[in-house]
Amino acid sequence: MMVGLSLDEKFRILELVGVECHVVKSEDEALAAFKNLLGRAEVLVVDEDLYEKLSQAMRREIEDARKPPLIVVIPSFRGPRRVILKELRKAISKAVGVELVVFKDLL
């Protein structure tokens, strides 16, 4: 099952393609919904705004999950924030042992 989680009502547009959307009002409510969805969602779609706020808490919860969902982070409706690119750059830099330099207009 594909499920979406966001703080923005515009996120409900994904219901048109079959995503079960959960729009929450606060970060605490979002984290509670995330914990509830862990056992039944195969794919969890989250916007960048929410992911940026809850990524650490989500990682902690996923560590204990028996079958964690695939988390897909999409740009927020306010425009892309490139949170995932920053995380990817950090992970690759750590893996190769060299700080990667990225042009500022990409991040």
Question: How high is the pLDDT of residue 9?
Answer: 93
pLDDT at 89: 78
- CATH 3.40.50.10580 matches 2-80: yes
* pLDDT for 41 beyond 60: yes
- Enumerate the domain spans of the chain: 2-80
* Band of pLDDT at residue 80, cut at 50, 70 and 90: low
Yes or no: say if 13 and 41 are a contact pair by the CB < 8 Å rule.
no
Give the amino acid at 8: D
The mean of the pLDDT values for the chain is 86
Given a cut of 90, whether residue 94 has pLDDT beyond it is no
Count other Cβ atoms within 10 Å, centred on residue 105.
5
Q: Are 45 and 4 in contact (CB under 8 A)?
A: yes
